């Protein structure tokens, strides 16, 4: 087989084509199997807190279904045997690659793979016909030639129409695995296909009998209760023989019917619809909502979380009752790469500084001796042209801007008062950090010793 055909074979094995019809996942699906059989796009959420469980993957992700509770069987193809030919091209029988495959099929989906056929040199490829052994009910197979040279490449497409209905045991007998063969007519070599229909969720077989989530009156299956007679309800909480009246629709003896948000139908609450379709009531007594949660800046849960039964479930990196508190710390990072300079705590993205430190990252402390000493020589040379740095003032102190004032009252507290090493005069200033470096406000008159 030449390199181009080998590359084509490997590419087609890796790519599967899904042939699906656009349809909405049935939100009324009673169980996981019914959901995944309705469309290859439908996924089941087995979380006990969800009322609408059958939806698309994106729909369940938006609704907040945890990943570990999602059941979404996938179609796939696996090559089990793919031996190369050792015979010369003049051999009497054609050679097929691959020789055996395993296929998994979701209802309504299909899988494709390439079949490469190397023909004897004296056999015209246009005369080749393929025989297919009897197929399982509901399974279809089509063959399409995509390269009629020698070796020729045939695209094999396998799909199933639907899953057979019946009990769990009957379903297992109707989903495979089965084996069937594709054989070039009048030649002995065949390709073996092992096919399994993905008609069941793995959780279907994991029944939790007498589950506490079902009030001890039923089995928990894929997050939904299957109640033992005579109990009914989402949590099997109601005895159908004695409680099919309005008492089953009240959370307490004097509680309003369905929390005042719905009507009682045969012992069950049917929650009212809201004017806004996205706003929903839920719960056994319609006691929950997805919109009655704390707000921040007029947005439910600050726009950083989901409202579940009156409480905000915050997105990652957000916290607080209304999800308004960011856990992001970048805005609290000081120049020394310490949170709030090690002089405060980062709360909701803002530094709460320990006095006397201040500023956005607790790096300002005008009254700290260290800060006053740090800028002393630069203040003297920038403001008065004196001091140890007067000959290199621009190079070492250019990061500071200076504003001179006439009155001491014009200098905001806290105040630095430092003595000049050159003439012993005391000069007064205050310092504040700016994005470009720093700002100095300096009193023009100094306090100098009398001669």
Condensed to tens digits (0 to 9), the pLDDT of residues 115-148 reads 988 887 766 667 678 888 888 777 888 888 888 8
Question: What is the model's pLDDT at position 237?
Answer: 80
Q: Which residue has the tokens 């002089």?
A: 343
Q: Averaged over 27-55, what is the pLDDT?
A: 84
Strand partners, 318: 326
Question: What is the model's pLDDT at position 75?
Answer: 86
DSSP 8-state class, residue 247: G
Domains along the chain with CATH numbers: 3-18+75-85+94-197 (2.60.40.1510), 32-71 (3.30.1680.10), 212-289 (2.10.25.10), 295-326 (2.10.25.10), 369-443 (no CATH)
Tokens of 56: 């698309």
Cβ-contact 251, 287 below 8 angstroms = yes
Question: What is the model's pLDDT at position 87?
Answer: 64
Tokens of 9: 């074979």
Angle CA 445–447–450, to nearest 5: 125
Question: What is the model's pLDDT at position 166?
Answer: 54
* Structure-model confidence comparison of residues 353 and 197, the more confident one: 353
CA atoms within 13 A on the CB side of 274: 13
Pairing of strands 110-118, 42-45: unpaired
CA atoms within 13 A on the CB side of 384: 22
Question: What is the model's pLDDT at position 6?
Answer: 45
**Residue 7 dihedral angles phi and psi, to the nearest 5°:** -65, -40
- Predicted structure pTM score: 0.44
pLDDT band for 15, please (50, 70, 90 cuts): very low
Q: Averaged over 358-365, what is the pLDDT?
A: 84
pLDDT per residue as tens digits for the range 249-268? 888 878 888 999 998 887 78
Rounded to the nearest integer, the mean pLDDT of the chain is 82
pLDDT per residue as tens digits for the range 163-217? 766 554 444 456 778 888 998 887 788 999 998 888 888 788 788 899 888 889 9
Q: Report whether pLDDT(14) > 50.
A: no
Q: Report whether pLDDT(17) > 50.
A: no
Question: What is the model's pLDDT at position 79?
Answer: 92
User: In the chain, pLDDT over 90 holds for what percent of residues?
Assistant: 15
Question: What is the model's pLDDT at position 160?
Answer: 66
pLDDT band for 341, please (50, 70, 90 cuts): confident
Strand partners, 95: 118
pLDDT per residue as tens digits for the range 367-393? 666 777 888 899 999 999 998 899 999
Residue 266, CA distances (Å) to 216, 239, 299 in order: 22, 12, 38
pLDDT band for 80, please (50, 70, 90 cuts): very high
How would DSSP label each residue in 15-41?
Answer: ------------TT--SHHHHHHH-TT
Question: What is the model's pLDDT at position 442?
Answer: 92
pLDDT per residue as tens digits for the range 397-438? 888 889 999 988 887 766 788 888 888 888 998 888 777 778
């Amino acid at each position: 087989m030449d390199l181009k055909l080998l590359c084509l074979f490997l590419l087609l094995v890796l790519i599967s084509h899904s042939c699906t019809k656009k349809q909405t996942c049935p939100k009324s699906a009673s169980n996981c199997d019914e959901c995944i059989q309705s469309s290859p796009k439908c996924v089941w959420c087995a979380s006990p807190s969800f009322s609408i469980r059958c939806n698309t993957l994106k729909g369940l992700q938006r609704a907040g279904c945890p990943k570990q509770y999602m059941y979404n069987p996938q179609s796939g193809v696996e090559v089990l045997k793919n031996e190369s030919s050792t015979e010369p091209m003049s051999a009497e029988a054609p050679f097929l690659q691959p020789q055996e495959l395993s296929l998994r099929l979701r209802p309504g989906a299909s899988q494709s793979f390439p079949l490469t056929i190397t023909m004897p040199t004296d056999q015209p490829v246009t005369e080749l016909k393929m025989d297919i052994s009897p197929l399982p009910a509901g399974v279809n197979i089509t063959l399409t030639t995509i390269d009629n040279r020698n070796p020729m490449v045939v695209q094999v497409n396998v799909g199933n129409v639907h899953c057979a209905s019946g009990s769990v045991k009957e379903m297992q007998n109707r989903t495979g695995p089965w084996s069937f063969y594709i054989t070039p007519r009048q030649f002995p070599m065949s390709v073996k296909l092992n096919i399994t229909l993905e008609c069941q969720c793995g959780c279907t077989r994991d029944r939790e009998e007498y589950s506490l989530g079902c009030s001890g009156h039923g089995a928990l299956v894929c997050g939904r209760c299957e109640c033992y007679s005579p109990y009914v309800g989402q949590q099997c909480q109601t005895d159908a023989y004695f409680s099919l009246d309005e008492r089953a629709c009240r959370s307490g003896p004097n509680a309003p019917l369905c929390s005042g948000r719905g009507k009682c139908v045969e012992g069950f609450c049917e929650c009212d619809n809201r004017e806004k379709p996205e706003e929903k009531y839920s719960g056994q007594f319609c006691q929950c909502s997805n919109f009655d949660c704390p707000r921040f800046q007029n947005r439910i849960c600050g726009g950083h979380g989901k409202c579940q039964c009156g409480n905000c479930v915050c997105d990652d990196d957000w916290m607080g009752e209304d999800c308004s508190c960011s856990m992001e710390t970048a805005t609290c990072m000081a120049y020394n790469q310490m949170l709030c300079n090690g002089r405060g705590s980062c709360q909701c993205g803002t530094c709460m500084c320990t006095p006397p430190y201040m500023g956005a990252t607790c790096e300002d402390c005008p009254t700290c001796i260290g800060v006053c000493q740090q800028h002393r020589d630069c203040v003297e040379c920038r403001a008065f042209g004196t001091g140890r740095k007067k000959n290199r003032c621009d190079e070492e102190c250019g990061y500071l801007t200076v504003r001179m004032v006439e009155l001491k009252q014009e200098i905001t507290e806290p105040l630095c008062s430092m003595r000049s090493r050159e003439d012993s005069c005391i000069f007064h200033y205050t310092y504040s950090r700016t994005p470009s470096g720093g700002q100095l406000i300096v009193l023009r008159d100094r306090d100098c010793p009398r001669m």
